[in-house]
């Protein structure tokens, strides 16, 4: 919001100087409007208005954007040595952060676009929420140190997932002075990623190992629970491993047919069954009444 006051003095210059003292700002930050130059029996009168700073304009723009998005959040803006720090806070902070800070990155791009339209010269803009940037920095720094040790142990390059420029700078900075690994970037935006390369060892493979990918064994198979299982085609059940005696040939019945099982010609039951089928038995009890 613009702040404006009117002052009077014997001259225009003295009226302006009086207004600057009351407002506590320098002359380059105000707009001066001469209401009356004064005369022999009247004083000069001026209206001095403080110009909105870039931080004030950014705060108004951001809060309007958050409101139109329906977010219960508010933005505060600070100008520190040519860098605008925009901090979002409120009940919808999680939505403002987004997955891995993607929403914050979108807000930051929006802020840069706004500054370009206002023709403001700022070196840097940082949008943060609930101290997410610092927490993410700590997480990525720990990840970089851990993967550097892994790359050295496996003697392999390790490729990280695609990251934005802010996160890539964190990885580069974490290993800038490392004695065991160095970093390089590969790919094109927005899929640009970092490759960690071990120092002082002969690489087993020039192909980068993706973060989370298992290291192949000497036989070309990857480690893990499945690797301990043999191929199904090589599996033999217990029945296959036991020695079995061949079954004796089934004897031939008198009618020339072969039946499973053993019997003799004296069997009184087999022959009738073979000729006419099994006997039929009548059920006991009378007819059922419904």
Domain holding 143: CATH number? 3.30.1370.50
Domain that holds residue 186: 134-210
Same domain, yes or no: 60 and 126: yes
Last residue of a domain, one of 163, 191, 210: 210
Q: Considering the domain boundaries, does residue 255 fall inside one?
A: no
Q: Considering the domain boundaries, does residue 277 fall inside one?
A: no
Q: Considering the domain boundaries, does residue 286 fall inside one?
A: no
Same domain, yes or no: 120 and 140: no
Residue 88 confidence class, pLDDT cut points 50, 70, 90: very high
Asked if 78 and 84 count as a contact pair (C-beta separation under 8 A), the reply is yes
Higher pLDDT among residues 38 and 192, named by residue: 192
Q: Considering the domain boundaries, does residue 65 fall inside one?
A: yes
Give CA–CA dist 173/168, Å, rounded.
Answer: 9
Q: Considering the domain boundaries, does residue 224 fall inside one?
A: no
Residue partners of 228: CB distance under 8 A and separation at least 6:
none
Residue 101 sits in a domain of what CATH number?
3.30.300.20
Q: Considering the domain boundaries, does residue 10 fall inside one?
A: yes
Which of 5-9, 32-36, 155-159, 262-266 has the highest average model confidence (pLDDT)?
A: 155-159
Domain count, the chain: 3
Q: Is the pLDDT of residue 77 over 80?
A: yes
pLDDT computed for residue 78 by the predictor: 92
Same domain, yes or no: 73 and 21: no
pTM, entire model: 0.59
Number of other CB atoms surrounding residue 238 within 10 Å: 6
The residue ranges of DSSP E strands in 121-261, in sequence order, are 124-129, 156-159, 181-186, 193-198, 205-210
Bridge pairing between strands 44-50 and 205-210: unpaired
Structure tokens at 175: 């290993």
Same domain, yes or no: 123 and 60: yes
User: What are the contacts of 185-192 at 24+ separation with CB within 8 A?
Assistant: 186/159, 187/162, 190/162, 190/164, 191/162, 192/162, 192/163, 192/168
Same domain, yes or no: 64 and 91: yes
Distances (CA, A) of 18 to 32, 55, 187: 12, 26, 60
Same domain, yes or no: 41 and 24: yes
pLDDT computed for residue 271 by the predictor: 56
Residue 11 confidence class, pLDDT cut points 50, 70, 90: confident
pLDDT computed for residue 1 by the predictor: 53
Last residue of a domain, one of 195, 210, 225: 210
Q: Considering the domain boundaries, does residue 9 fall inside one?
A: yes
Same domain, yes or no: 205 and 178: yes
Q: Considering the domain boundaries, does residue 28 fall inside one?
A: yes
Residue 27 confidence class, pLDDT cut points 50, 70, 90: confident
Same domain, yes or no: 14 and 42: yes
Q: Is the pLDDT of residue 268 over 70?
A: no
Same domain, yes or no: 59 and 126: yes
Residue partners of 123: CB distance under 8 A and separation at least 6:
82, 83
């Amino acid at each position: 919001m613009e702040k404006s006051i009117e002052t009077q003095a014997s001259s225009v210059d003295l009226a302006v100087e009086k207004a600057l003292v009351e407002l506590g700002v320098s002359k380059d930050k105000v707009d001066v409007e001469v209401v009356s130059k004064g005369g022999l029996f009247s004083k000069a009168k001026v209206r001095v208005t403080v110009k909105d700073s870039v931080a004030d304009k950014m705060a108004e723009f951001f809060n309007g954007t958050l409101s139109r998005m329906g977010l219960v959040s508010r933005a505060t803006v600070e100008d520190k040595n040519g860098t605008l720090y925009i901090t979002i806070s409120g009940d919808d902070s999680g939505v403002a952060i987004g997955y891995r800070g993607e929403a914050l990155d979108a807000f930051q791009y929006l802020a840069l676009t706004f500054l370009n339209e206002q023709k403001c010269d700022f070196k840097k803009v940082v949008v943060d929420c609930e101290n997410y940037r610092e927490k993410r920095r700590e997480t990525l720094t720990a990840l970089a140190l851990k993967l550097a040790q892994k790359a050295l142990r496996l003697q392999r390059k390790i490729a990280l997932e695609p990251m934005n420029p802010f996160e890539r700078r964190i990885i580069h900075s974490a290993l800038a002075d490392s004695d065991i690994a160095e970093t390089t970037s590969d790919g094109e935006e927005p899929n640009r990623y970092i490759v960690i390369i071990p120092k002082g060892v002969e690489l087993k493979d020039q192909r980068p190992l993706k973060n989370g990918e298992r290291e192949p064994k000497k036989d070309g198979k990857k480690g893990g629970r499945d690797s301990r299982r043999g191929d199904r085609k090589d599996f033999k059940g217990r029945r296959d491993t036991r020695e079995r005696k061949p079954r004796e040939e089934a004897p031939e019945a008198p009618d020339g047919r072969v039946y499973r099982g053993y019997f003799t010609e004296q069997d009184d039951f087999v022959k009738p069954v073979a000729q006419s089928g099994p006997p039929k038995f009548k059920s006991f009890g009378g007819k059922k009444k419904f």
